[in-house]
Amino acid sequence: MPISPRVVKPEILDHLAADDPEAVRSRADLRRINFLMGNERWVCRTVRGFAEAAARGIVELGAGDGVLAGKLAEIFPGAPVTACDLAPRPATLHPRVRWRQGDLLAGDLDAGGGVLVANLFLHHFEGEALRILGRLCAGFEVLVFNEPDRALVPHVLGFLMWPWVNLVTRHDMHVSIRGGFAEGEWLPLLGPEPERWRFRETSTWRGARHVVAWRV
């Protein structure tokens, strides 16, 4: 059960310069948190289950440092892989990944393909912004989303990590959880045509909520 209604607030990291020492440390914290939660491993394993769709193209929203997009490019060497983000192309991005910089909500990125991936991205949005992203989903055959599970246990696990993360991460991880999703909230928030999709939704003890959707 969710501990409270969704509350979406700005995260500190989103407003720090990329070379700010606290931002650099927080991004390193997030890499470790992603590893401990198994987020990218789950995304890659799930996309492997839709190999035919992946061959027609994989798009990642909110790609950040591009590490996940790079892993997908290595797993599917023949598939076009596109990473979308507001930030410029990372210097270390896998050379086969196409980088599209722009604002999804402003219509800068009219993407389509076989598989749409989002890892710890959708919890930043609510209301009309989520509906816009929902319309973007219509251009894909498979959706693979990993987001924070809005529940008590993820907060407890977050507090246990405080000695090993900086102040930015301490703040942002709990903001992320409060903006996360509970069971059954995806359909009304993203609004894909229910008769055209099948959904599988699960949560993990490590604080992740997994949603996979594929066209009938």
Domains and CATH numbers, the chain: 12-215 (3.40.50.150)
Cα(121)–Cα(1) distance, integer angstroms: 22
Among 3, 57, 46, which residue's Cα sits nearest to residue 174?
3
SS3 61: strand
Q: Are 44 and 71 in contact (CB under 8 A)?
A: yes
Confidence at residue 103, expressed as pLDDT on a 0 to 100 scale: 83
- pLDDT per position as a tens digit, 148-202: 999 999 999 999 999 999 999 999 999 999 999 998 887 666 665 667 888 899 9
Query: Which residues, including other chains, have CB under 8 Å from residue 129's CB and lie 6 or more apart?
Result: 105
Please give the helix or strand (H or E) that residue 70 lies within, else none.
helix 67-75
**Tokens 């023949």, residue located:** 78
Q: List 149's β-bridge partners, or say none.
A: 181
pLDDT in the model for residue 205: 92
